[in-house]
């Protein structure tokens, strides 16, 4: 297995992120029915404002989605492209150096958004469309390889079982990652994601979190998408709008255990958590240092 036990620089678009650099991926949904913001950034003006706010708060990547992850109204390929491609092009024009990601499982959408300027394809459904990796390779962009337990897009898990959930996660994500590289995706632009909630119950997601070192030991950069997820809600018995504290606690643990990329709704709060954890780890100095020095 590649680079076992070690990490390398992560390269996405024009950016290179060092081994100890924690990367925030801000969520901007071009959907009218997203589970968290209920369509707050569906309109273009609101979405651009969200991008600007996220960048100002410390986001390194903007992840643009055109289809709600959960069940809901059907969104055709053409409609998903309409919601994402032109928006990607305008974000690229306004922010030439920003890393732009698009959350999609469809290769047709991947083709359109890469042509518009996307740097990363976030395949949250675990390679259900194998041509998406081919598109990433052809355009030389990055790819997120996610474990979804074999679930079909926009479905919820039902009585899902694993003999060993992390063994399954490792087998799927590293397999997808190696396939992507074999197709021509730059190795330094491939990320793996345990897929919290996707094809998993709450206990599976909690176990995946505490066993993150097994993923980081592979050498592939690890992305965690924790923000306001159902496993946080069930663990604490909190509704969607009251899951920030649980999300930030899980973020801190994930950072300590070696995750490198964090897909989030609340950028400023996440940045503070990551800065604090990395300062404790000794990989980031305090922003100021006055106490006891005068």
Element (H, E) at 25: strand 23-29
Catalytic residue among 243, 260, 263, 271: 263
Task: Please report the pLDDT score of residue 4 as a whole number.
Answer: 39
Q: What is the pLDDT of residues 61-89, one digit of tens each?
A: 999 999 999 999 999 999 999 999 999 99
Cβ proximity of 123 and 102 under 8 Å: no
Which portions of the chain are predicted below pLDDT 70? Answer: 1-8
Query: Is 263 an active-site residue?
Result: yes
Task: Please report the pLDDT score of residue 7 as a whole number.
Answer: 57
Integer angstrom CA distances of residue 199 from 147, 174, 286: 8, 17, 39
Task: Please report the pLDDT score of residue 294 as a whole number.
Answer: 79
Catalytic residue among 30, 179, 229, 243: 229
Structural domains of the chain ordered from first start: 10-281 (3.20.20.20)
Cβ proximity of 60 and 17 under 8 Å: yes
Task: Please report the pLDDT score of residue 8 as a whole number.
Answer: 64
Mark residue 291 as left, alpha or beta (left: phi above 0; alpha: psi -120 to 50; beta: remaining).
Answer: beta
């Amino acid at each position: 297995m590649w680079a076992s036990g070690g990490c390398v620089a992560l390269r996405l678009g024009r950016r290179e992120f060092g081994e100890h650099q924690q990367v925030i991926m801000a969520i901007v949904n071009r959907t009218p029915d997203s589970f968290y913001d209920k369509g707050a950034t569906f309109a273009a003006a609101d979405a651009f404002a969200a991008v600007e706010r996220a960048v100002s708060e410390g986001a390194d990547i903007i992840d643009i989605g055109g289809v709600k992850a959960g069940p809901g109204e059907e969104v055709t390929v053409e409609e998903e492209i309409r919601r994402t491609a032109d928006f990607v092009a305008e974000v690229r024009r306004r922010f030439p150096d920003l890393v732009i990601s698009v959350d999609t499982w469809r290769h047709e959408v991947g083709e359109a958004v890469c042509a518009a300027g996307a740097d990363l394809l976030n395949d949250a459904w675990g390679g259900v469309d194998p041509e998406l990796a081919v598109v990433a390779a052809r355009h030389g962009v990055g790819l997120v390889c996610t474990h979804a337990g074999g679930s079909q897009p926009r479905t919820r898990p039902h009585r899902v079982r694993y003999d060993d959930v992390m063994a399954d996660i490792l087998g799927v994500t590293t397999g997808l990652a190696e396939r992507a590289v074999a197709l021509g995706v730059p190795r330094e632009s491939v990320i793996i994601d345990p897929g919290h909630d996707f094809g998993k119950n709450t206990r599976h997601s909690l176990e995946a979190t505490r066993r993150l070192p097994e993923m980081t030991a592979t050498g592939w950069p690890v992305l965690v998408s924790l923000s306001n997820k159902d496993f946080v809600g069930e663990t604490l018995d909190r509704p969607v709008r009251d899951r920030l504290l649980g999300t930030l606690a899980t973020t801190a643990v994930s950072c300590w255990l070696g995750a490198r990329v964090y897909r989030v709704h609340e950028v400023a709060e996440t940045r503070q958590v990551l800065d604090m954890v990395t300062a404790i780890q000794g990989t980031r100095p305090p922003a100021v240092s006055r106490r006891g020095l005068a």
